[in-house]
Amino acid sequence: MAFYRDHIYTHLVDRLGNPPPIREIRQRILPLAKGIVLEIGVGSGVNFAYYDPRKVTRLYALEPNARMIRLAERRRLQTQLDIQFVGLPGERIPLGDGTVDTVVSTFTLCTIPGVLEALRGIGRVLRRDGRIIFFEHAISPDPHIRRWQNRWAPILFRVFEGLRLTRDIPALLAEGGFHIERMEAAYLAAFPKSWAYFCWGTAILLTDRDRNAEGEIAWSRARKRTAVSESKRTTNHSLSR
């Protein structure tokens, strides 16, 4: 598996990971990044070409795969960006609290194993007025396509080193403490559709006030469900007498 990861997978992703429909989305969303940027799972550095160097002060490129970093180094030389590669010692992002303006994740939240822990780490380093730009595989809203995603999931998990086709990215962002500002989702290829459903957009950190408001809404909804359930039980009991 180490040989596949280091010698085959890296080149597979580098050669096949940026077809025209995906390239178009990168061109739309990555220029939104500004200030000090952290890109998680930078891979072979394919995103470097789409950042606006006039808006990005510094780019921290986080990538634990040494072979990927070698490929990314070549792309770094083709840009005007100030890029600093960082590792992941102890599974903790090696940056200070509230030091990053923008976090970028393209096909990382749908791949890494501890996604909620990663989102909390992102929330730690992100400034309160910062945002995350995401572009990910996602679970399809179509039940028929979802069945095919579930069938393909174990195969693609192995071929693409942890890719999970069936993650609910919006729900994970919310659970990780983020509010989605805007999001689009679509099939970016006609076949196989089960491989080609993606979502992309931006999200901001929830404030304590937002969390309290969402908690109150959830509590209110739970109260209503309980009241309806108790009403039904009372009605059924009366009818059975």
CATH of the domain at 45: 3.40.50.150
153 and 214 in a single domain? The answer is no
55 and 22 in a single domain? The answer is yes
- Number of independent structural domains in the chain: 2
DSSP lists the bridge partners of residue 102 as 37, 131
162 and 237 in a single domain? The answer is no
pLDDT tens column, 148-177: 999 999 998 888 777 899 999 999 999 999
pLDDT at 237: 44
**What distances in angstroms separate CA 101 from CA 130, 133, 172, 225, one per listed residue?**
5, 11, 21, 40
pLDDT at 241: 46
Asked whether the predicted pLDDT for residue 214 surpasses 60, the reply is no
77 and 145 in a single domain? The answer is yes
- Strands (E) across 28-78 are located at 35-40, 56-62
Domain enclosing residue 219, as ranges: 209-241
Q: Give yes or no for a contact between 110 and 141, defined as CB atoms under 8 angstroms apart.
A: no
Q: What percentage of residues in the chain have a pLDDT greater than 90?
A: 64
Asked whether the predicted pLDDT for residue 217 surpasses 60, the reply is no
pLDDT tens column, 32-80: 999 999 999 999 999 999 999 999 999 999 998 888 899 999 999 999 9
236 and 196 in a single domain? The answer is no
- In the numeric block, the tokens 């030389």 are attached to 77
152 and 227 in a single domain? The answer is no
pLDDT at 232: 47
Exposure string over 104-124, b if 16+ CB within 10 A, otherwise e: bbbbbbbbbeebeebbebbbb
47 and 125 in a single domain? The answer is yes
pLDDT at 219: 47
Asked whether the predicted pLDDT for residue 230 surpasses 50, the reply is no
- Of 45-49, 191-195, 210-214, least confident by mean pLDDT is 210-214
pLDDT at 234: 43
154 and 230 in a single domain? The answer is no
pLDDT at 89: 67
Q: Which residue has the higher pLDDT, 67 or 216?
A: 67
Q: How confident is the model at residue 92 (pLDDT cuts 50, 70, 90)?
A: confident
227 and 180 in a single domain? The answer is no
pLDDT at 45: 95
pLDDT at 7: 56
221 and 201 in a single domain? The answer is no
106 and 134 in a single domain? The answer is yes
91 and 151 in a single domain? The answer is yes
End-to-end CA distance of the chain: 67
